[in-house]
Amino acid sequence: MSETASTLPIFDLRRFTPGHPKRNEALDALRQVSRSTGFFYLTGHGIAQEEIDHLTRLARRFFSLPAEEKLEIEMRKSPHFRGYNRAGFEYTRGTQDWREQVDFGAEREKLQLTSGDPPWKRLIGPNQFPTALPELRPAVLKWIDDVTAVGLKVLQAFSAALGQKPDVFAPIYSKGPNQLLKIVRYPGRDQTESDQGVGAHKDGGFVTILLQDVVGGLQVDDGQGGWIDAPPLRGTFVVNIGELLELASNGYLKANIHRVVTPPAGGDRLSIPFFLGANLSASIPVLDLPPALAAEVPGVTQDPLNPLFREVGRNVLKSRLRSHPDVAKAHHADLLEEKEKALS
């Protein structure tokens, strides 16, 4: 893929399987994309179209519920940042994102914390599911399991492309990766206050696996001052590199900037992104790359407004506190006060 490409490439996940006759060619192409846009379409992932269509229908049914039934699981009720947000209640770099959404993660028991525990442990806990749509719970939990399996195969492909053992990252995800699923609806331009569906940003995990419905809006930084449109392709996911892989590869793999623009007036857009990360207790190592790859390492991109930490839980908590200030204020005011004191 060239630096001036106007479309994203399509990769078949099956070609990364050890022993596949096209594997080396596929890994070469993956390295090339990883150093340019960091985004691609994925086929051959093994998730049936019936499961995709079922979850999409349930998502539509959820967003069609009366407001009070969606607000039954409002995120402000969850210290773990799980649940529903109205449009305009999440922020990217301090600016409102115009999308309504519901966030889910791995279904885990809330931890009993002591004063010496790290703050990121507050993120661990149960989901909220709507009473009016009981079918959503099993579909969401199955989807998280299935798309996690896909994400781990993609992660193994990146490991091989970097000259590493396929399970090189297993020590930092095997005890339970950080999993975040969002079901998102972007209202049309006539129902928003700007065209920012989601502001320009990078993703923070290992990889993101995005299911799109039928309306476009995702745009990827082309590195030349413009944007590459990534319209929906039936049966595919859009996959992109997160900041954990950029950290681990010392910048060889690129976590690229992207955004979502508000759909045209009179319509909307549905998307279901899944973010696969390391265990919250882990720290990200720096891989020992083969000499030929190490010679091309540019270093990790530094953003003074969004510093990166190798401590996974610290990074994730920082992101959630910034993007959901209402939840932060309701449940984690002490952390906000500590931050203010540190800056004063």
Structure confidence by residue, pLDDT tens digits, 208-262: 999 999 999 999 999 999 999 999 999 999 999 999 999 999 999 999 999 999 9
Architecture in CATH for domain 10-343: Sandwich (2.60)
- Range 315-344 burial, b when 16+ CB lie within 10 A, else e: bbbbbbbbbbeebbeebbeeeeeeeeeeee
Give pLDDT, residue 342. Answer: 58
Structure confidence by residue, pLDDT tens digits, 79-122: 999 999 999 899 998 899 999 999 999 999 999 999 899 999 99
Three-state DSSP class for residue 343? helix
Give pLDDT, residue 314. Answer: 95
Give pLDDT, residue 307. Answer: 79
Structure confidence by residue, pLDDT tens digits, 274-308: 999 999 999 999 999 999 999 999 888 877 777 78
What integer best gives the mean pLDDT of the chain?
A: 94
Q: In 3D, which of 196, 188, 194, 233 has the Cα closest to residue 212?
A: 233
DSSP sequence for 204-224: -SSEEEEEE-S---EEEE-SS
Give domain limits for the chain: 10-343
- Looking at residues 1-19, what average pLDDT do you find? 82
- Looking at residues 24-52, what average pLDDT do you find? 97
Give pLDDT, residue 168. Answer: 97
Q: In 3D, which of 167, 175, 209 has the Cα closest to residue 279?
A: 175
Q: How far apart are CA 220 and CA 258, in angstroms?
A: 4
Which of the four pLDDT bands, split at 50, 70 and 90, describes residue 341?
low
